[in-house]
Amino acid sequence: MNLCPRFRFPLCPTYRPSLVAIFLVASRSYNKNIAAPQSATTPTLSLSYRGFLMALSASQIEQQRKEAEELLFSGPQKLGFAKGLFLGLFNAPLLFPYPRLKPEEVATTQAALEQVRQFCETSIDAAGIDRDARIPDSVIQGLGRLGVLGMTAPTEFGGRNFSQLAYTKVMEIIGGHCASTAVFVNAHHSIGIRALLLFGTKEQQAKWLPPLVDGSKLAAFALTEEQAGSDAGNVQTTATPTEDGKGFLLNGSKRWITNGGIADVLTVMARTPGLAGGANKKKEITAFLVTPDMPGFKVVNARMPKNSIRGTATGQLAFENMFVPKENVLWQVGKGLRIALTVLDFGRTTFGASCTGVAKACVAAASKHVKQRVQFEQPLAEFELVKQKIAWMAAHTFAMEATTAQCASFIDRGFEDFMLETAMLKVWSTDALWRIVNDTMQLLGGKSFFLDQPYERWMRDARLNLVGEGANDVLRAFIAMYGIKPVADQLLKVYNAAFNPLKEFGTLLNFGGSQIAARLRVPDVPVRSNRLRPMARELATRVRDFSLAVQAQVIKHKEGILFRQYVQERIADAACELYAASCTLSRLDSLLSGTANGNAAEIERDAQIGLYFLKLANRRVKQCLVALQDNDDADTTQTADAVLSRY
């Protein structure tokens, strides 16, 4: 098994090398020859389904399947919480009890939070940063002095050795104050120096980490190119070994790199064809530590103008015969994509924290406004449609914080499989925040559109979240198909056993028994609070219903599910709701069972908010499952095709 060299857990890529590849690996249970050419004269795959696969040759599809299998499914697969949902399991010990700071870190964390809060209020002018499209050096230096730029790094490198959970609380404050500053910090810390922390040699760490941790040098992570965005494996930048064996010559370009034009150390992804002997030699990718003083390094555009997170320095870079010594290879040749895909899990966790900070700011601003604003002789807060928006915003903010905390806890506890959970957090939280910001602007009316207010900036910044760190629609397909894989594997065993019933009678008997049991009982969702038991029972029922629905869709569509993105979307959305509801239930159980500090009135308010979310999520899951059978999918496709034929 390939393990992270520092923390010794299996690598967890959450971007996809190719949607096609993941689909094929996940569904090969039903047709192992799906990607094989039928004859020497059959160059393309012949299937009766419409979609982008039709343009690929059978050999391309098979190659992508092998690539995905090597990246995503090498070694024994651990059953994380989210994967268990697809099988009808509720792995309570992974979420209960609700994660909280360790006693020994509470005081230090609280002091740091207060320092960061004061620094944001006195030294970070979010409107000015957006207006000037630049984060001042004084802000960067101040964040360095506070230890924010190396907060989770070990103390041996000058870091503060904060847990991921504590760090998310810091990022929540920064994100709620200035999205540009939060993205800058995330790019530097969560994905920039994170690669060094996880994969660097002792020599590399000793050389690079101290100045990066104290903020005297800045980091960037250079993956995205013109042809490599969501398709992370399609990097075109090349790294050719020099004849003397001392290093590599890099040629290519990168774009949309946060901190790219101002960074002192960049982790650059480049192709090293055939050097590692992987399944796809043409797509072997290696990570290199690069500095801008290397001959051939060019900053084409240090600050690409944009309408969102305007303060960040989003750069465009070029490399022309840039020599990089072999000592600057990060981890191993050919393992760059694993590095890239692994660090995104960490980045998405702090991404969720930043979204939570903005959501809290929205709830506070909207609530104050509707209580003060009088129309038709009464405060806006008295109108039901206003109450509806406030309740929805608060409920999803509560759940967002809970879901972020659980993902951070997975990292702190060294869990081996949390790739689905971080993908779900990213999709669910950014979708929820977009509606929260939209509803905030609706409640504030015309006031929200003027530049002397922060709301239109919040809207612009929030919209990018649905695309950055993995486009949400791409991640929905990933969530559905990766979650389906253990279901497909289980059905494959039964399928094979059916051809040898005498020898595999036990397998068939167990499957039959499990099917009957699944319809007669629900998984155990243990809660300590009596008040929560009805909601726990509802959640358990939805988990059972979800797993049976997933199984039915896999059996119904077989390999055709590769193309059924309408189905994938409903499965992914239901899974995200179940995960968010599970995290929220854990938080509520902690509140109501007496393990959380706080006054009774405040706890009761939070309980009402959380319980309301559980009811909303429960209804949405049921709607997603009903829509698997009752929908207008055929009309949707026909209408879209009619429109597209005009252009």
The residues carrying an active-site annotation are 469
**Dist CA 132 CA 134 (whole Å):** 5
Let me know: does 189 contact 353? Beta carbons within 8 Å.
no
Q: How far apart are CA 571 and CA 566, in angstroms?
A: 9
Check if the beta carbon of residue 285 is closer than 8 Å to that of residue 225.
no
Burial string for 116-125 (b: 16+ CB within 10 Å, else e) reads beebbeeebb
Contact 150, 189 (CB under 8 A): yes
Closest CA to 264 of 322, 195, 193: 193
Distance CA 329, CA 629 (A): 51
Contact 88, 518 (CB under 8 A): yes
Residue type for 576, please? Answer: C
Query: Pairing state of beta strands 238-241 and 247-258?
Result: antiparallel
Residue pair 254/214 in contact (Cβ under 8 Å)? The answer is no
The vertex-383 CA angle with 378 and 385, nearest 5°, equals 155
Q: How many helices (H) and strands (E) does the chain have?
A: 20, 10
- DSSP code per residue over 520-540: H-------S-GGGHHHHHHHH
Sign of the C-alpha dihedral computed for residues 256, 258, 262 and 265 taken in this order? negative
| Three-state DSSP class for residue 629 | coil
- Is-contact 313 305, C-beta < 8 A? no
